[in-house]
Amino acid sequence: YYAFVDVEGNKIKNFEILPVPFAEHGPGDLPNFVKENKGEVVIAYGMGGRAVDFFNRLGIDVITGASGRVEEVVDAFLKNRLDTDKDWKSKEEFGHHES
């Protein structure tokens, strides 16, 4: 699932949770899905370097190491107070995402 959040004046105006429209995805599918839904920033806990590159090539900024409730994470991001886990890559469950 992806949460698409509309922001106006540094405040959350609306948000919508959308399921990923495919069971399996190939390189670039998720970044294109986000771009088609007018996403400008992706905030995630973990993501591989190749995926980050795909998002960046489409003009989408990526922030990793974030966790928590969508509303709280976005609010912290908007207030420039988002606390991220800088060591997320070293966690065992993300070992397969090394780039």
Per domain, the residue ranges of the chain are 2-22+29-87
On whether the CB atoms of residues 63 and 84 are closer than 8 A, the answer is yes
Fold for 2-22+29-87, please state it: Nucleotidyltransferase; domain 5 (3.30.420)
Confidence class of residue 6 from pLDDT cuts 50, 70 and 90?
A: very high
**Backbone φ and ψ of 84, nearest 5°:** -115, 155
Q: What is the pLDDT of residue 60?
A: 98
pLDDT digits (tens, 9 = 90+) for 23-45: 787 888 999 999 999 999 999 99
Instruction: Kindly tell me if the per-residue pLDDT of 21 is higher than 90.
Output: no
Determine how many CB atoms are found less than 10 A away from the CB of residue 51.
20
Q: Would the pTM of this model clear 0.75, i.e. be above it?
A: yes
Q: Cβ neighbours of residue 14 under 8 Å, at least 6 residues apart?
A: 5, 6
Q: What is the pLDDT of residue 85?
A: 86
Q: What is the pLDDT of residue 72?
A: 94
**CA–CA distances in Å: residue 19 to residues 3, 43, 57, 58, 96:** 9, 16, 23, 21, 23
- Residue percentage of the chain with pLDDT more than 90: 68
Q: What is the pLDDT of residue 92?
A: 58
